[in-house]
């Protein structure tokens, strides 16, 4: 699948007059095409690449607008901006963990002001929650016979905010499981000992954090919550009522039936449409950077609202 999600600046019809009067970039197809990836991770949370390595990869893939949306941190944004220079537009982003009716829900904030006092306080609070949650996860794992997880995740997370993928790495490297998927299936996924989400703020608070720091609130990867149609629509009703702006209609390489369903949901709730790879790492079985299913025509793209 080739990179998608572009928007052409080219007008549909040209006259001979256009060819003589339009600026030189008119003739350069690359400069006329935008490719957006509005959901990505770096090593500041659970991604593999440093922010600058991520930016270099984005440039090499022809991405023109990249949102760095690390989990509950803005620590990578300055480095990403510096590495981007004038060749690539960085959208300041974050992916907040939140809670809605007992479900862990991710809300992406795009074009947030990272200097906003509200945002800074929110990030500090979430990081404290992540720290306490990691301790609790380690204790629960110990109860089911897994030793040393707390020390293990310190080693893997280094300076990053601690997340379940760091636990998964520990479980794989110590041989308790043989893959990330198995780590989530047995120990970290929904309903398992390491699934702790009660620590997160409710969805309304999180949307308010994003709104008050000037950002656009996007409900991330709606198909990953395993909800029925009725439950998803209930979530969307609440999301709109509390001031949410957009729905991630396309998350990575997804089934076209999922895209159709989410396109309809965005229409039904008059939500803007966002798209992104949710890139974490290179390698087989991971979502590649800048490559995701096409955005359906007729969506109202979130980037039209970027300032």
DSSP string, 75-136: TTHHHHHHHHTTTSEEEEEEEEEEEETTEEEEEEEES--TT-HHHHHHHHHHHHHHHHHHHH
- Which is nearest to 219 in space by CA: 260, 242, 248, 197? 248
Q: At what angle do helices 149-157 and 164-173 cross, to 10 degrees?
A: 110
Q: Does residue 184 belong to the site contacting ligand AMP (CB under 6 A)? A: yes
Residue with CB nearest ligand AMP? 163
Q: Which lies closer to ligand AMP via its Cβ, residue 112 or residue 188?
A: 188
- Out of 5, 76, 152, 165, the residue judged to bind ligand AMP by CB under 6 A: 165
Q: In the block, which residue shows the tokens 């862990």?
A: 104
Question: What mask, x for binding Mn ion by CB under 5 A, covers residues 84 to 103?
Answer: -----------x--------
- Out of 180, 239, 263, 292, the residue judged to bind ligand AMP by CB under 6 A: 180
Min CB(178)–Mn ion separation in Å: 21
H/E stretch holding 67 reads strand 65-68
Stretch that binds ligand AMP, among 145-153, 163-171, 240-248, 298-306 (CB under 6 A): 163-171
Q: Is residue 172 exposed (0-12), middle (13-18) or buried (19+ Cβ within 10 Å)?
A: middle
Stretch that binds ligand AMP, among 143-151, 179-187, 243-251, 261-269 (CB under 6 A): 179-187
Min CB(17)–ligand AMP separation in Å: 52
Query: Given the rule CB under 5 A, which residues bind Mn ion?
Result: 46, 95, 106, 220, 278
């Amino acid at each position: 699948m080739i990179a998608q999600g572009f928007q052409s600046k080219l007008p549909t019809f040209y006259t001979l007059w256009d060819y003589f009067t339009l600026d030189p970039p008119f003739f350069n197809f690359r400069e006329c095409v935008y490719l957006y990836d509005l959901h990505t991770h770096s090593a500041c949370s659970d991604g593999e690449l440093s922010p600058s390595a991520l930016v270099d990869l984005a440039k090499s893939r022809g991405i023109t607008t990249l949102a760095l949306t690390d989990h509950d941190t803005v620590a990578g944004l300055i480095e990403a901006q510096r590495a981007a220079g004038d060749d690539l537009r960085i959208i300041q982003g974050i992916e907040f963990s939140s809670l809605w009716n007992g479900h862990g829900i991710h809300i992406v904030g795009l074009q947030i002001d990272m200097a906003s006092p509200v945002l800074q306080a929110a990030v500090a609070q979430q990081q404290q929650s992540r720290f306490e949650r990691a301790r609790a996860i380690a204790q629960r794992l110990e109860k089911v016979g897994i030793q040393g997880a707390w020390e293990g995740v310190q080693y893997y997370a280094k300076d990053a905010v601690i997340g379940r993928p760091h636990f998964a790495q520990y479980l794989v490297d110590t041989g308790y499981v043989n893959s990330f998927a198995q780590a989530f299936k047995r120990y970290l996924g929904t309903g398992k000992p390491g699934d702790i989400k009660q620590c997160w703020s409710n969805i309304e608070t999180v949307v308010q954090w994003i709104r008050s720091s000037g950002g656009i609130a996007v409900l991330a990867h709606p198909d990953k919550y395993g909800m029925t149609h009725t439950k998803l629509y209930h979530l969307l009703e609440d999301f709109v009522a509390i001031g949410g702006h957009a729905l991630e209609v396309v998350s990575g390489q997804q089934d076209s039936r999922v895209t159709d369903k989410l396109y309809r949901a965005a229409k039904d709730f008059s939500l803007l449409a966002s798209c992104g790879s949710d890139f974490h790492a290179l390698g087989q079985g991971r979502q590649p950077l800048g490559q995701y299913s096409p955005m359906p025509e007729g969506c109202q793209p979130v980037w039209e609202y970027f300032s």
